[in-house]
Structure 1
């Protein structure tokens, strides 16, 4: 990809990472080195100087136009589960991977209620709805940039092009007498007064966290007005006044209600026939093959207003170029190295300088992890400097694949 070399050369001359003044951008000795991770997937690392210190940037470029090159959801096997990026990448046969969405990492405000580890935003796995987004006040990761929504995602459509969009849950529970709206799907926090569904993909974690906090205050107490209904093959199996835990078998759904949702569910008694349905409605015209929660910093090659220009942290970001046919995947060093990280405003300018039309950020700090597979040994190696030298276990990420045929059979 000669275009990557050109873009980075221009970047080193013109990138302004310092608000209000030109940056003195200096490349490290390996700035011109491009590693071919696999056909259509390349990696490089380079350094820049900023007003607040040096910054080390790790860049993956995936050409989605190349046959066999695709992106997918990095996934530990359950929504309420976590694993290191390199471990998930090896399990899934990815040639490169990066961490994803912010997640329910701790529950200091709710003693006795375990954190679920589940991601905050919506996600799509293999073209199917995996989970919906929690209310904005319940998400982790700080305040959203102006104009962004907790329902914002980045993903790749069934047409093979990357894009951003919003995914809104539409669901229902229908009996012979009534239809109840469903406003949650495999999420660690339900909207106030709502009913949420949990499927076998949730995992075995307790569902108690889903009825804690409010739409605007994650730390608010857990509600005491709770009702849970287990539905198997379209019929109510049993009910409970407390949220349950443990694996949910295939063919079984758990409907959990809080406040008004709990009162509505009390009408469903064992033996009641219930028809359920749900989908993630997208603002994109093309369905997603995969998607995960992400927050925009760049749109139509313009940085969004109001981005933080003060706090420099290790960052993870994804840029979209060439009408969704190129992915630029970025991780920066910080905390445990001489690099200072980037502010969100700097991150947006970096993505724009890399030729991106759109750009998003995902979880950063100690979660920032970019890993690639060594073509010679097949081993997956983390390329950025990790916080305390350890990979944080995360709930999802982006996996990059490069598959080519060998003697008529699939291979990588």
Structure 2
């Protein structure tokens, strides 16, 4: 532990205890319906905000605490209905009837290195909604966002299982394509970047955005040129109906799978002919849990078993969004750093881990930050959520997904 981290932890513990009683100095929460640990948004859902004195100065944070032991409170994925699309968190929350939420995974935000290629807006990591696998993870080298801490990958997820417990895990794609000539592995599912020499599947969950980005870059270099050896096959009702030398665009019908291949994967697809039978199988496989996931989304872990991951950045302060898991997965903490100019000093990733540990988390997970950081919550009795933090860009940034907090009351 560095002296700076030790000092921060000492100050944080004192401030966290003080702020539970005193509230915050910036846009303080209304005392109406306030309880000892914050403002009650819904049964099992509390909100509070407070100041922290961090390495680069005072910063302001917003915190949602969700008691997953309360059968009236639940967690789910916020997303626009397809993978490759973006909406502000407030709009995503209201569309799903969520009482609160935060932004989620890092995403394909720009394509300046590939002229003529459209940024898809699709997230980096795996995503599961209501038990349904929406997408798998892009290769590590194709990730958008800050460098991953040692030992973490784009497959890392925060999820809630069918047992109602939150946990950190890793989700890998297990898939195959069965053709008259045999079987070969599936390398991707609704992802903006495919591994080299692979075949990826795009379903109705992808949306209508062009699939051209999927064959750009390499497994280690996001900015590498797009592949010149590509092929696309459309399978409808289990049979090949069309093919193309380049990836296309437009919505994919519910009974259709579009297979996109690059290099060796393209060569495999060229062997298929119109009318041939093709079966595509895919699922996401958890590395650590035998419990099926109802919800999962990507990011990267920063705290595990009460200990910060080694190698966390303790110098770069920024506006952050993160989640903490406490009480053996029965309590979820959703934290957003305020982006107002007066508080833009932010937190380092090491401080994020220490903050969530001081608030009782055993595990913690970093989500997209900066201009994406958004925390929304309903006022008690309101029909729509309001943005509780000040987004650093001055307004909400559209994002591909988020963590929604739902109430069954």
Q: Deviations over 1:87-132 (max 9, x none)?
A: 0100000000100000000000000000000000011111011100
Q: Which residue of 2 aligns with 1:85?
A: 89
Q: Deviations over 1:340-389 (max 9, x none)?
A: 11000000000110111100001000000000012222221011111232
Indicate which of 334, 349, 357 corresponds to 1:352. Answer: 357
| DSSP 3-state at the match of 1:261 | helix
Q: Which residue of 2 aligns with 1:145?
A: 149
RMSD: 1.5
Instruction: Structure 1: state its 5+ residue gaps.
Output: 1-15, 405-412
Compare 340-349 and 329-338 and name the one that shifted more: 329-338
Q: Which residue of 1 aligns with 2:5?
A: 19
Indicate which of 94, 109, 126 corresponds to 1:105. Answer: 109
Q: Deviations over 1:311-334 (max 9, x none)?
A: 110110000011100001100113
Q: Distance in 2 between matches of 1:261 and 1:188?
A: 16
Indicate which of 169, 172, 175 corresponds to 1:171. Answer: 175
Q: Distance in 2 between matches of 1:274 and 1:333?
A: 50
- Alignment TM-score, normalising by the size of structure 2: 0.92
Q: Distance in 1 between matches of 2:91 and 2:239?
A: 39
Aligned residues: 389
Q: Distance in 1 between matches of 2:367 and 2:7?
A: 27
| DSSP 3-state at the match of 1:277 | strand
Q: Distance in 1 between matches of 2:225 and 2:55?
A: 43
Compare 82-91 and 175-184 and name the one that shifted more: 175-184
Indicate which of 26, 37, 41 corresponds to 1:37. Answer: 41
Aligned: 1:46 with 2:84: no
Q: Deviations over 1:6-25 (max 9, x none)?
A: xxxxxxxxxx9932535545
Q: Distance in 1 between matches of 2:3 and 2:344?
A: 14
Structure-to-structure mapping, 1:5-404, within 5 angstroms: 18-21=4-7, 24=11, 26=15, 29-31=22-24, 34-283=38-287, 284-334=289-339, 336-404=341-409
Q: Residues 135, 312 of structure 1: CA spacing in aligned structure 2 closer, same or farther, 3 A cutoff?
A: same
| DSSP 3-state at the match of 1:245 | coil
Q: Distance in 2 between matches of 1:175 and 1:354?
A: 53
Question: Is contact 1:184–1:195 with CA below 8 Å preserved after alignment?
Answer: yes
| DSSP 3-state at the match of 2:342 | coil
Q: Deviations over 1:151-171 (max 9, x none)?
A: 000010011110111100011
Question: Is contact 2:319–2:392 with CA below 8 Å preserved after alignment?
Answer: no
Instruction: Structure 2: state its 5+ residue gaps.
Output: 25-35
